[in-house]
Amino acid sequence: MRQLIRNIMIFDGTGGASVSGAVLVEGDHIAAVLHDDAAIDAVDADIVIDGQGGTVMPGMVDAHTHLTWGSSVEKIYHQFILPPDELKVAAWRNARVLLDHGFTSLYSAGALGDQIEPELARAIDAGETPGPRLVPSTLERSPEGEEGVETGDVFNGRGPDAMRAFVAYCAAEGVKSLKLVISGEDALKPGSSGDILYTDDEMAAAGEAARDAGLWIATHAYSPRAIQLALEAGARILYHCSFADDAAIDAMVAKKDEIFYAPGPGVSVAALEASPPPHIDMSSMKASAAERLELEKRLVPRLKARGVRILPGGDYGFPFNPNGRNARDLEHFVTYYGFTPAEALSAATMLGGQLMGLDVGQVKPGYLADLLLIDGDPTQDVRIMQDASAIKMIMLGGRMHKSPLAQPVTA
């Protein structure tokens, strides 16, 4: 099937200015990007969509997704750990919610339930449930004996052999990216961000085993030593890195063509905004959030200036920071890190596609037709992406998840 989207501005994902034109989709791929009126008029298409002057752009990518952190804009959970059946329901819901909000690809930063994300990824691929393209993860793995900082479980013990066993388990399960929690977490245990939760030998074993199995590694790393361990293990994406020093920055820059970095401002901003009931003490989380934001306001521009690929994705899924608000990260990139709106959008599209390892994230011939039609110009005001009603079309691989065309009425 050939679908022509015309009367539009096109933001192609590269960060350049939007230009007028049309996009021809054939099957699940973009066949052509046209700018000449005569060429557009000559196209023979099965379906013609009048974009009414809106902006066509690539679907967005969230680089730090927690589908099993249950809360969404549709349902808030006031407990973090859910019963297994409800955890699955929440994950399936959150996948659809994120697609509804324009995220057509997700890179998981770890799950709270084993085997849930590989099962969900298979269900999405089979068309059994709506959701974005998903790089699934397993339980976030943090070592035993660190009470107050664990975000996952260790079920293979300690030592290099245990790490190899964990990687083998993940490969057999269908996981594509391991999540390793290398640093502590000040928001949960004040003063622990400098703690190193793995030995050098454990991280080296994980890196070697992951490479042999063809799996990626995502890392929770705050301190310079944690960053170095992540890099030495061959991590694909590093989260947070708030306390990076000059040497850690240099090390990240040295691997800029191999790594991605997602600072995760969403959870920090939301924690500072939160007004919890009196019996909920968020003081440690708020203090940590304020410190991290101040550090990252200096760190992120330095890394960006030196060519490190910086992506949005901000620990959404807490009751005060629910899934579905993920596009707030774009505004945070502009407000806190000095990105232009077009740069923030490019980080969420072109760079996100590179993280996914797929031909997504650009409006470019040959790329998968993961496209949004926006009522307005997000390159002028990126906050428009937070309004799901402004997203008039959501296309995933040429198939409409949300169509701008009038739908037939059925009896």
Question: What DSSP letter does each residue of 58-85 carry, written as one string?
Answer: EPEEEEEE-TTS--BSS---SSSS--HH
Segment 281-313, tens digit of pLDDT? 888 889 999 999 999 999 999 999 999 999 999
Is 191's pLDDT higher than 90?
no
Give pLDDT, residue 123.
Answer: 98
| Residue-range domain boundaries for the chain | 2-58+362-402, 60-326
d(CA 136, CA 262): 17
Does residue 154 register a pLDDT over 70? no
Length of the chain (residues): 411
pLDDT single digits (tens) 202-220: 999 999 999 999 999 999 9
Q: Give the pLDDT confidence score for residue 409 in this predicted structure.
A: 47
Rounded distance between C-alpha atoms, residue 341 and residue 237, angstroms: 23
Q: Is the per-residue pLDDT at 263 higher than 80?
A: yes
pTM reported for the whole predicted model: 0.94
pLDDT for residue 411 is more than 50: no
Between strands 55-58 and 47-50, the pairing is unpaired
pLDDT computed for residue 114 by the predictor:
86
- For residue 73, CA distances in Å to 70, 90, 351, 409 come to 10, 12, 26, 28
* Sheet order of strands, 237-240 included: 177-181, 216-221, 237-240, 260-262
pLDDT tens column, 231-262: 999 999 999 999 999 999 999 999 999 999 99
What number is the average pLDDT over the span 98-119?
95
Q: Is the CATH code 2.30.40.10 the one for domain 2-58+362-402? A: yes
- In this structure, which amino acid lies at residue 150? E
pLDDT digits (tens, 9 = 90+) for 60-83: 999 999 999 999 999 999 888 899
CATH of domain 60-326: 3.20.20.140
Q: What is the mean pLDDT of residues 114-140?
A: 95
